[in-house]
Amino acid sequence: MQQQLAQLVAAATQEASAVATRAELEAFKARVVGPNGSLTQVMKGMATLSKEERPVVGKLINEAKKSVEELLATLLVKVENAEIAAALGASVDPTLPSPDAPAGSLHPLSRTRERILASFRKLGFVVADGPEVETEWHCFDALNTPADHPARDMQDTLYMPKAFRSADAPRKADEAILLRTHTSSVQVRTMLSRNPPFRIVAPGRCFRRDAVDATHSANFHQVEGLWIDRNVTLADLRGVLDFFVKETFGADAEIRLRPSFFPFTEPSFEMDLRSPNLGRLSNRWLEIMGCGLVDPKVLELCGLDPKEWSGLAFGLGLERITMLVHGIDDIRHFYNNDTRFLRQFA
Amino acid sequence: MKVSFQALSRHLDLAGVTAERVAEVLPMLGLEVESVTTFGLAPLPLVVVGEIKSFDKHPKADRLSVCQVDVGDGAIRQIVCGAKNFKAGDRVPVALPGTVMPSGFTISVSKLRDVDSAGMMCSSEELGLGKGEDGLLILTPRQPALGTPLNSLFGAPDTVLEISVTPNRGDCLGIRGVARDLAAALGLTLKPLTVKTPAGLAAAPSAADAVKFVRSSSEFCPYYTLRTLKNVKVGPSPEWLRRDLEAAGLRPINNVVDITNWVLLELGQPLHAFDAKKVSEGIEARPAREGEEIVLLDGKKVKLETGVCVIADAQRPLVVAGVMGGAESGVTDSTTEVLLEAAWFRPGEIRRVARRIGVSTDSSHRFARDVDPAGVELASRLATDLLIELAGAQPAGPTVAVGQPPRADVTIELPAGYVAAKLGTPIADADVSAAFARLGFTVKASATGFSVLVPSFRSDVTRPIDLVEEFIRIHGTDKVPAGRPIAPLPGDEDALTSVFTREVSARLVGAGFTECCHYSLRDAAELERTLGADKAALVAMDNPLTAEQTHLRASLVPGLAGALALNLSVHADPHGLFEVGTVFRPQADGTVREFISVAFAIVAEPVTRSWKSREAFDGLRAKRLLQDAAALAGVASVRLSFAAANGGLWQADHAAALVDRGRAAEGACGVLDLRWTRSLGLKSSVIAGEVCFPRSAFAEARKIPRFEAFSSFPPVTKDVAVIVPVDVAAAEVESRVRQGAAKAAGKEFALESVNCFDVFTGPGLPEGHRSLAFEIRWRHAARTLTDEETNQALGVVIATLEKGAGWTVRR
């Protein structure tokens, strides 16, 4: 009996080496431990044995059964491995490059814009917007710059023909329709449509009738801010701008307010920046933005009582800030869209 | 405006103040300094006056002369010279060996083509005196002594500050105005102006006068003065006057014109001088009559707009008032009698007329910025002094003023504490009144604060807030501290256009696209391609600057296609490009509407080779990106429908136009017109997509989604295939399937999805037909659906589909 069992296990072990698929495994399993399997037959023979023989033979059978079960478990792993290998195909070389294109990138002007907006959001300024094609009233008159005002000479304006009708900026009377020269027109629209207090920043595209060169572009971008509240002061303006500059250019950047003139602010200033981290432009005063307290006349034109309300406003050129932050020397790079430029800021 | 340090010193005692200090102080007053340059002769101690005793031709060089020069030290020097404009006996500047010229070149004893040369004779330009006549600077007419250092002939060099004057500061378009501000900032006192010609003007010419009338009948000329000067000797101006004009960037002409220009620079008041003999009877400021013309000083013939103010005699217009004089009545070398005009014209009108004629003169620039009415007569008197002194003129009648100065000094009531309240920092009353006093304003205490009398030269200061600016200019902005910390206002949100721009950009960047930024202004050809010629005309600008930038863009796609071509041409793989921006599209009602557009473009065949190939980007992936972009804008996919796009930017039969049932969005996707993209230099086809939304689409606040319960029971899925003519759109078939499947579910259970999983054309189908197969999924909220129910439901779908003409369900 003992010899018979040993032969059985040896035969099964030998047979197992040929098992490669799940079907072969099942067939093999049936041949050994199935109802008519070889081991099952031996176990059936137990009944014919004497009481004395049974424990001895039983032990031998159990050992053989254990061997067979181990053999089956090993085969199952082998078969499953073969199946997985077949499902996955050949192994990969993890050092090969991905054939897929990398993530894209935001335009440097967008990145700078979002950074600037994030700074002002911390101070409670929310983003406002308005049409790029504007009425003369929203772009100039409401900003205290009537037609015969010499401040209109400060910029050359692109106009649409008389027949042009804008769905977004309908005429109030028969004023001209133009391409906005600044995003200050959004300030006007906000003052007309919202009740103060509020703080807004208006990023957007502006246009001037300028020949294109290294520092001029027919269209450019501004970010303008407006804060209308009771008792807004020059100290508030300084606080806001100081915060912005330190956020954008680092804690060691300083500002100065240099008196200037804009028709829509009084007093008006140019804000200059000085920073040790601007490459060859380090440590000298650079003109960054115009700002001031909102002229009472503008509040009045926009339906706010200057006795109750006051405000501050500022406007910066997105291209200029981006050029300073990244050391870009020519504004035309922004509009050429050479990806060797664009991807540098990813 | 150019202001020299010496000119400022006429009005202020600047002892101990350097030009550098002035250049630092002016910007902080609001007078931006654009450049600082040296004017005149720099210190050149070794450049002296010499006399050319004799000269010969250089033996080896035709162009050179060998000169024998005496500089008064007892020795004759030999100097080789290339100039031709001298003769023996001329006195010229001689740079002795050791001189460092303004260019940095050092003069030494040397040989020129083998001939000894001990110094250099100099031209005006070599001395840094500007471009003079060709050749040497001939000093002979000045009769200088031999050996005189040139610096003692020319005086000390001056520093010229080019100041950018903002439009509100007309007073600083005269040197005295700049000096006044500088005095206020430095705590100095303005020197008084001494004028000998007495004040006082008659109301009309007397009977004895040659000029019979002086009048104004133009609303744009409320105040006009005229003086007559006889026995005028027109000639060159003296050295100091020429120098002052040149320092300011003006060209000397003759003493009369130079004097009017000098006074203009000094006081900011433009003057005009007529040749009295060319004036018929009298002078009138009047509206131009219909059809009148004038030839201006610059030779340009101008047809005058009816009603503009002209200065005319009895017969014709002589001057476009305040803008430019006529060629016929101006002062010439033969003039002996001068009529001197000093007037005040309405600023807005002068600006308008100057722009209309297309000229900007020193006069119009100043009149447009509101000259001081109180300075009109003063300027006239100062010019009279100079005409007497420098041109031998004699005052004669008439000396007339018509009208009245239109503005006077203004009193502003400044409430106590107002300045401090606007600055947000405490300010002592004494500091406020001291600052105003320094500016020449008269300050008096009043019941409620201060009464501030602002002289008429400051037309920009009329309100308390203007005084705040004046105070801070003098007080210094650096003394205002940064203000209070700020808390955000609750409930305020960014404009949804901004949120959308941010989100859609992040989505596209994640999908491998690189953001571009193109000009909004495009050429006519591009717009005609995008919109067709008729609609393109609706977005053309009135006054474009260049032929490349004449129209507003109606699509971002042409820019992106151009960028793909550019990048490929420089061998940079662009991968996918995208842009988010405003486009302008004509609407059915004739208006042009602004849309926030999102567009992307990519070449269909990969540019960079790879060891493993990927499925090419196609129009269907473009469609998915568009749908995702629309969803970010709040436009659900179910609202969008697609139809074949034909023409324009898109390739027929290979692109889709997108329509929003809610009429908010527009767009298209697919292959760009292949002829067009090939003409751009793109070999592979280009896949692009664009979807745009009117601003109004973003007007509604975003809804916060509400949770909806879903079933925990399994769905039942049924397939149905239908054969339809090829010209029936898949969307139409799908819609029919959806309709039948929803109807079959009724209120008992729910249609969960309809999904097209197979499209087949080929053998076994009737000619001109195709088969579309859909998977329909139903689900019950509270139980498992039975076979009977779903078979019945499928029957309803089949029945619905077979109502379509020529539609057969495959069984």
Domains of chain B: 2-40+158-186 (3.30.56.10), 47-154 (2.40.50.140), 213-403 (3.50.40.10), 414-479 (3.30.56.10), 496-698 (3.30.930.10), 716-810 (3.30.70.380)
What is the pLDDT of chain A when averaged over all its residues? 91
CB within 8 A of A77, min separation 6: which ones?
Answer: none
Q: In terms of domains, do A289 and A149 share one?
A: yes
Overall average pLDDT of the A172-181 stretch: 91
Mutation target among A106, A198, A247, A299 for the B interface, most CBs of B within 10 A: A106
Q: Is B523 on the interface with A (CB under 8 A)?
A: no
A102, A334, A340 member nearest B517 (Cβ): A334
A127, A256, A266 member nearest B477 (Cβ): A256
Q: How confident is the model at residue A103 (pLDDT cuts 50, 70, 90)?
A: very high
Q: In terms of domains, do A26 and A62 share one?
A: yes
Please tell me the predicted confidence (pLDDT) of residue A36: 86
Tokens of B635: 């436009």
Tokens of A232: 């807004």
Asked if the Cβ–Cβ distance from A236 to B463 is below 8 Å, we say: no
Q: In terms of domains, do A267 and A332 share one?
A: yes
Please tell me the predicted confidence (pLDDT) of residue B153: 84
Q: Report the residue count for chain A.
A: 346
Please tell me the predicted confidence (pLDDT) of residue A13: 87
Asked if the Cβ–Cβ distance from A129 to B495 is below 8 Å, we say: yes
Asked if the Cβ–Cβ distance from B423 to A233 is below 8 Å, we say: yes
Q: In terms of domains, do A160 and A79 share one?
A: no
Residues within 8 A of B (CB atoms), A 228-247 only: 231, 233-240, 242
Q: Kindly report the nearest CA distance between residue A75 and chain B, in angstroms.
A: 36
pLDDT greater than 70 at residue A155: no
Please tell me the predicted confidence (pLDDT) of residue B736: 94
Residues within 8 A of B (CB atoms), A 102-161 only: 102-107, 109-110, 114, 117, 121, 123-124, 126-129, 131-133, 146-151, 153-154, 158-161
Answer whether residue A289 is part of any domain.
yes
Asked if the Cβ–Cβ distance from B575 to A101 is below 8 Å, we say: yes
Long-range contacts from B178-181, C-beta under 8 angstroms, 24+ separation: B178/B1, B178/B3, B178/B8, B178/B26, B178/B31, B179/B8, B179/B10, B179/B11, B179/B12, B180/B11, B180/B439, B180/B440, B181/B26, B181/B29, B181/B31, B181/B439
| Dihedral sign of CA atoms A46, A52, A57, A63 in order | positive
| Helix, coil or strand: residue B571 | coil
CA R_g for chain A: 41
Q: In terms of domains, do A340 and A272 share one?
A: yes
Residues within 8 A of A (CB atoms), B 361-400 only: 368-369
Please tell me the predicted confidence (pLDDT) of residue A188: 95
Question: How remote is the C-alpha of B456 from its chain's centroid?
Answer: 31
Residues within 8 A of A (CB atoms), B 594-653 only: 594, 610-614
Please tell me the predicted confidence (pLDDT) of residue B157: 86
Domain hosting A16: range is: 2-88
Q: In terms of domains, do A180 and A297 share one?
A: yes
What's the CA gap between B187 and A193, in Å, rounded? 47
Answer whether residue A96 is part of any domain.
no
The CATH number covering residue A289 comes to 3.30.930.10
Answer whether residue A97 is part of any domain.
no
Answer whether residue A177 is part of any domain.
yes
Q: In terms of domains, do A168 and A305 share one?
A: yes
Please tell me the predicted confidence (pLDDT) of residue A15: 86
Please tell me the predicted confidence (pLDDT) of residue A153: 66
Answer whether residue A314 is part of any domain.
yes
Q: Kindly report the nearest CA distance between residue B586 and chain A, in angstroms.
A: 9
A136, A169 in Cβ contact below 8 A?
Answer: no
CB within 8 A of A92, min separation 6: which ones?
Answer: none
Q: In terms of domains, do A76 and A214 share one?
A: no
Q: How confident is the model at residue A42 (pLDDT cuts 50, 70, 90)?
A: confident
Please tell me the predicted confidence (pLDDT) of residue B442: 95
Answer whether residue A103 is part of any domain.
no
Q: Is B503 on the interface with A (CB under 8 A)?
A: no
Q: In terms of domains, do A41 and A133 share one?
A: no
Residues of chain A positioned with their CB less than 8 A from the CB of B574 = 339
* Local mean pLDDT, 10-residue blocks, chain B (811 residues): 94 93 96 91 89 90 90 90 89 92 88 90 85 82 86 86 94 97 95 93 82 93 95 92 91 94 97 94 94 90 93 94 91 94 95 90 95 96 96 89 94 95 93 93 92 96 96 94 79 90 96 96 96 94 92 97 96 95 94 96 91 90 94 85 88 92 87 96 95 84 83 95 93 94 93 96 90 96 93 94 89 79
Please tell me the predicted confidence (pLDDT) of residue B383: 97
Q: In terms of domains, do A252 and A112 share one?
A: yes
B167, B502, B576 member nearest A154 (Cβ): B167
A58, A88, A118 - which closes a domain: A88
Answer whether residue A95 is part of any domain.
no
A57, A88, A119 - which closes a domain: A88
Q: In terms of domains, do A145 and A262 share one?
A: yes
Paired with B540 in beta bridges are B551
Q: Kindly report the nearest CA distance between residue B78 and chain A, in angstroms.
A: 49
Burial of B196 (0-12, 13-18, 19+ CB in 10 A): exposed
Q: In terms of domains, do A159 and A43 share one?
A: no
Count of domains observed in chain A: 2
Answer whether residue A93 is part of any domain.
no
* Crossing angle of the two packed helices B175-186 and B255-267, in degrees rounded to 10: 30
pLDDT digits (tens, 9 = 90+) for B657-716: 998 877 788 999 999 999 999 999 999 999 999 999 998 888 666 678 899 989 999 999
